[in-house]
Amino acid sequence: MRRRGGLGEIFVLLAGGAALTAGSVAPLVANASVSVPASTRPVPDFGNPAGHARVPPAGDAVDTNHPDHVIGTGAPASCTSAAVVSAVARGGVITFNCGPGPVTITMTATAKVVNTSHRIVLDGGGTVTLSGAGKRQILYMNTCDKRQEWTTSDCYDQEWPELVVQNMTFDEGNSTVSQSKGTSFGGGGGGAIFDLGGQLKVVNSRFIDNRCYHVGPDLGGAAVRALAQWHNKPVYITSDSFRGGQCSNGGALSSIGVSWVVLNSLMTNNDAIGYGAKPGRPWHPRRG
């Protein structure tokens, strides 16, 4: 099995004014609702209003007119954390039916992609917010996770799963995993989304006040942490907004050995607050 190590650079293409300071479907409904009304505090627009860069097909949204799973039955209370977790684990194209207005789903568990899935598309229609409530990571995919079935001999370079997130808002996600040795390639990070392996694309989405651990050299990405993409293909960040993120490295985005294409996106008030290089003392996995 090939391992990739060391600190890699982040290569980012900023375009279109992107700022880097960049049949029938059965609904999925859980028994107990944990949905809460959407936050009333001001939120940024989707993407950069001044961005007009051409978006290649690889970076554009995908068709979700024929979903495999629909979360909710038309009322906000029918859209729950349990339904999101279940749908993501099942994979396929996932949409929401939570009513006409904005809705915030407070996650009581992290939604985890199953490595045997092919493509997972999560489309909130521009009205759905997933909140980690400042306590937990929201969305997780890791093709090298030892707790799951490995689908190839090289978990760091495989085509699937492919995760596409579009028309969503991620609020107050928090990856509390601190720097660890030998337990997770690249340490922790990814307060809203963590992705190691496969492919990742984020389109027309917002990331607000996400967090990850505050110190450590090989962790980062308050909003998104991406590692080991298939055939070194880039992670597309298209028409997305990032505000108020905070982490040791990468107040918005972070990676090791991954390239990014950031188009028509806006990053404001995101802070990298860590310090130091490789720790001079033994690493002890812990959660903070």
Residue carrying the six token digits 């700022």: 19
Per-residue pLDDT at 254: 93
Could you give the residue ranges of the DSSP H alpha helices within the chain?
81-90
Residue carrying the six token digits 């979360």: 71
Q: Decide: pTM greater than 0.75.
A: yes
Task: Give me 99's structure tokens.
Answer: 């009513």
- Give the model confidence (pLDDT) of 165-210 as tens digits: 999 999 999 998 876 554 445 568 999 999 999 999 999 999 999 9
Residue 273 to residue 214: CA distance in whole angstroms: 6
Residue 44 to residue 240: CA distance in whole angstroms: 10
Tell me which amino acid residue 44 is: P
For residue 153, the surrounding DSSP H or E stretch is: none
Block means of pLDDT (10 residues each) for the chain, 288 residues, are 34 41 37 40 82 95 97 97 98 97 97 94 97 96 82 81 97 84 62 95 98 86 93 95 94 91 96 73 46
What CA dihedral angle connects 194, 210, 203 and 78, to 10 degrees? 90
Beta-carbon contacts of 4 under 8 Å, excluding residues fewer than 6 positions away, are: 156, 185, 228, 256, 257
Residue 272 to residue 253: CA distance in whole angstroms: 10
Domain boundaries, the chain: 11-38+58-272
Residue 76 preceded by cis peptide, ω within 30: no
141 in Cβ contact with 149 (< 8 Å) = no
Per-residue pLDDT at 38: 42
Distance spanning both ends of the chain, measured CA to CA = 31
Residue carrying the six token digits 């107050």: 172
Could you give the residue ranges of the DSSP H alpha helices within 54-142?
81-90
Establish how many alpha carbons lie within 13 A of residue 130's alpha carbon, considering only the half-sphere containing its beta carbon.
34
Residue carrying the six token digits 């389109």: 203
Per-residue pLDDT at 181: 53
Residue 169 to residue 163: CA distance in whole angstroms: 16
